[in-house]
Amino acid sequence: MSNIVLQVENLHTSFFTRAGEVKAIDGVSFYVREGETFGIVGESGCGKSVTGLSILRLLPEPAGQVTEGKIILEGKNLLELSKKEMRAYRGKMISMILQDPMTSLNPVYTVGDQIAESVRLHQDLPENMVEAEVVSALRLLRIPDPEMRIKEYPFQLSGGMRQRVVGAIAMSCRPRLLIADEPTTALDATIQAQYIALFEDIQAKTNVAIIFITHDFGVVSRICDRVGVMYAGKILETAPTREIFKAPKHPYTAALINSVPQLDKKDEKLFSIEGQPPSLLNLPPGCRFYPRCTVSMDICKEQEPPEVKLDDNHSVSCWRVK
Amino acid sequence: MTRFIIVRILQAIVALIGIAVIVFFLVRVSGDPMALIASPNMSEEQYQKIKESLGLDKSWGEQFWIYIKDMARGDLGESLIREKPVTTMIGESMPNTLKLTVPSFVLSMILSFFLGVMAAIYRDSFWDQGVKFLAVLGQALPVFWVAIMAVLIFSVYLEWLPVAGMSTPAHYILPVGTMILFMLPGMMRLVRSSMLDVLDSEYIKMARIKGLPERSVIWKHALRNALITPLTIIGMLLPSLVLGAVISEQIFNWPGMGTMILQATFERDFPVVQSITMLTAILVLGINLLVDILYAYIDPQIRYQRA
């Protein structure tokens, strides 16, 4: 087994609003190994993106705060670093790709400038080597004619190409951990497939650990080695991707997988989970999925289910699983 | 880009011709200057002679033709009242106006950008509230009234600053302050809201993800994008600079072009009014062109559209 790059332990993140404390992440633990892709799947608002931002310590301050837990990157707890030390980690050790390629590049600087900025910041290179490094980052993302592209502005590129440039910025300093926050959601289906193939390629070349945040189980099946299913600020089930598709243990996981449209089943109504996720402002006691669960029991209403380890890689929080 | 500039200069010339026509006929509609020049005990003969010497006996069409011909040669005519060439009068008053407007303009831009950006960065802080309060106050109070009150307080009661004139640096404080009050509030609010929009964007998040220090995030990534909207407004702000100069010069008895055009308007001194208006128009059009060029420099998308 290869080394663990990132270990998140019992992470709690809250937003302190006028209405009260919103517990966006309520005790999340997971790890990612070198060269592995860990997927975080869930509905919008479940805390997927906040998890990513918590790791980078880029929560919107002062409202967003990590209140408890550890985020350990290669032996260092990121939460104990000073602001300056944390900055040195960003872009160099950890990087992130955001969802919308149309808005995540600065419109007034060239592609080359925006990549070179990261290179200059984190790598002690003589100025005449910077451009070569920028070109190599573009090559890594399989961007055609990189020497030409560096002089272009974002508005001259297509959406798919822009997302590759974002990837090139993220990978320019060969980080140990890449957080991809719905990187394919805004892309066309065909471009999406290419982009996912690109991820596999990059990972094979650089051995980077990837956290892949998505709401799409279809994408998960294609890229993730292991998955954490997140619901209302908590990971309800963690398992290897194949296992979770074959035999989901948590009713929520099963329902999510069921809602992926299947091409081979004709004339069937699309499956959907009834109801809405609970308000994170004051969570009811008991299991947070209880109100929407079709197989709930009495105990689910009163007590939160503990995490049960089925084996080294598979854990579930559900009273039905013993 | 060269083509764009040439087109814009041609457009400016058309606009200037239009302005010349409008101003020329508008001042003449305001009344006959002979009514002010003539005295009751003047003979009919004398009256006609003066009218002829001033060229006022000719039809408006003829007068317009002469005016355009002279202007093309750089001759702005002679004041009807002061019997001095208008160019000489402008030569005397323009430096004074520039001494007032240039520092006011530069200072208000620096201040509004600095205060606006700070208010956006420290949103909802005490600082931001202060800036908002200042902006609302500045926009709600009539500037001429504030200027008069300032004279009353600082010059009359406290005797800290001179009432009028322009001989020492202390003389500049109140007039320049008045003009800043004219331009600062609107600009400051615009910079603030433009900066807030940009700070909320994904590419600013990306800049932070790269590990850039906050200083580069704000002044390199955010400000250049936040400049685009306020820059367009600078062009539109120039008329209020002119208006500010007129008011400010009047209150502080500043011997500049603002005072001159006001007097000339009351005295129906056609050549003076026409010349200053044309000069102001050229200035406004020129700076607008400059703003457009700057605009293309800041925003590559515009640069490419115009290429």
Q: Is the pLDDT of residue A173 over 90?
A: yes
Helix, strand, coil tally for chain B in percent (to 5): 80, 0, 20
- Nearest chain B residue to A121 by CA: give it: B212
Percent of chain A's residues with pLDDT above 90: 65
B124 touches chain A (CB under 8 A): no
Per-residue confidence (pLDDT) for residue A265, from 0 to 100: 67
Partner-chain residue, chosen from B211, B221, B298, that has the shortest CB–CB distance to A121: B211
Q: Stretch A45-56: mean pLDDT, rounded?
A: 92
Q: Do B203 and A106 touch (CB under 8 A)?
A: yes
Nearest one of A222, A177, A197, A204 to A76, comparing CA atoms: A177
Whole-structure pTM value: 0.81
Residues A76-133: tens digit of each pLDDT: 999 999 999 999 999 999 999 998 888 999 999 999 999 999 999 999 889 889 999 9
Q: What is the pLDDT of residues B247-297, one digit of tens each?
A: 888 888 888 888 888 888 888 888 888 888 888 888 888 888 888 888 888
Distances (CA, A) of A15 to A23, B185, B208: 7, 34, 20
Looking at per-residue pLDDT, the higher value among B236 and A47 belongs to A47
φ, ψ of residue A296 to 5 degrees: the values are: -70, 155
Average pLDDT, chain A: 91
- Higher-confidence residue of A255 and A272: namely A255
This complex has an ipTM of: 0.89
Tokens 């996720």 map to which residue? A277
CA distance B120 to B204: 14
Q: Higher model confidence: residue A215 or residue A282? A: A215
Chain A contacts of B304, Cβ < 8 Å?
A: 153, 155-156
Please report, as a single letter, which amino acid is at residue A78: L
Residue-level pLDDT at B27: 86
Sheet bearing A209-214, strands edge to edge: A94-97, A177-181, A209-214, A37-41, A226-231, A234-240, A315-316, A308-309
Q: Which residues contact B160 (CB under 8 A, 6 or more apart)?
A: B154
- Residue A13 CA to residue B45 CA, distance in Å, equals 96
Of the residues B210, B216, B295, the best mutation for testing chain A's interface (the one with the most A CB atoms within 10 Å of its CB) is B210
- Predicted confidence at residue B296, as pLDDT, reads 82
Backbone angles phi, psi at A126, to 5 degrees: -65, 150
* pLDDT confidence bin for A239, thresholds 50/70/90: very high
Q: What mean pLDDT value characterizes chain B?
A: 86
Is B304 within 8 Å of A88 when comparing Cβ atoms? no
Please give the pLDDT value at position A259: 82
Three-class secondary structure of residue B227 per DSSP: coil
* Residue A266 confidence (pLDDT): 67
- Of A220, A173, A169, A234, residue with least CA distance to A192: A220
- Nearest chain A residue to B303 by CA: give it: A108
What token pair was written down for B166?
A: 């322009």
Q: Which pLDDT does position A1 carry in this prediction?
A: 62
Q: Which amino acid type is present at position B10?
A: L
| Residue B104 confidence (pLDDT) above 80 | yes
**Per-residue pLDDT tens digits for B192-226:** 999 999 999 999 999 999 999 999 999 999 999 99
In which band, very low, low, confident or very high, does the pLDDT at A260 lie, cut at 50, 70 and 90?
confident
pLDDT score, position A267: 65
Cα B302 from Cα B279, distance rounded (Å): 29
Q: Considering only CA atoms, which of A290, A192, A230, A221 is closest in space to residue A54?
A: A230
Chain A CA closest to residue B225: A108
What is the pLDDT at residue B289?
Answer: 85
pLDDT surpassing 70 at residue B41? yes
The predicted-structure confidence for A266-301, as pLDDT tens digits, reads as follows 666 777 888 888 888 888 888 999 888 888 888 888
- In one-letter notation, the amino acid at residue B240 is S
pLDDT above 90: residue B155: no
| B300 and A CB contact within 8 Å | yes
- According to DSSP, residue B40 is labeled T
Closest alpha carbon to B74 in B62, B85, B60, B64: B85
Kindly state the percentage of chain A with pLDDT values over 70.
98
Peptide bond into A62 cis (omega under 30): yes
Q: What is the pLDDT of residue B86?
A: 86
Nearest to A40 by CA among A68, A6, A66, A2: A6
Domains and CATH numbers, chain B: 2-72 (no CATH), 90-306 (1.10.3720.10)
Q: Which of A41, A15, A21 is nearest to A30 (CA)?
A: A41
Cβ separation of B224 and A88 shorter than 8 Å? no
Q: Dihedral through CA A238, CA A243, CA A248, CA A249, nearest 10?
A: -60
Smallest CA-to-CA distance from A295 within A241, A257, A253, A259 is with A253
Identify the structural domains of chain A with CATH numbers, from first to last: 4-93+177-190+197-316 (3.40.50.300), 103-174 (no CATH)
**Predicted local distance difference test score (pLDDT) of residue A161:** 92
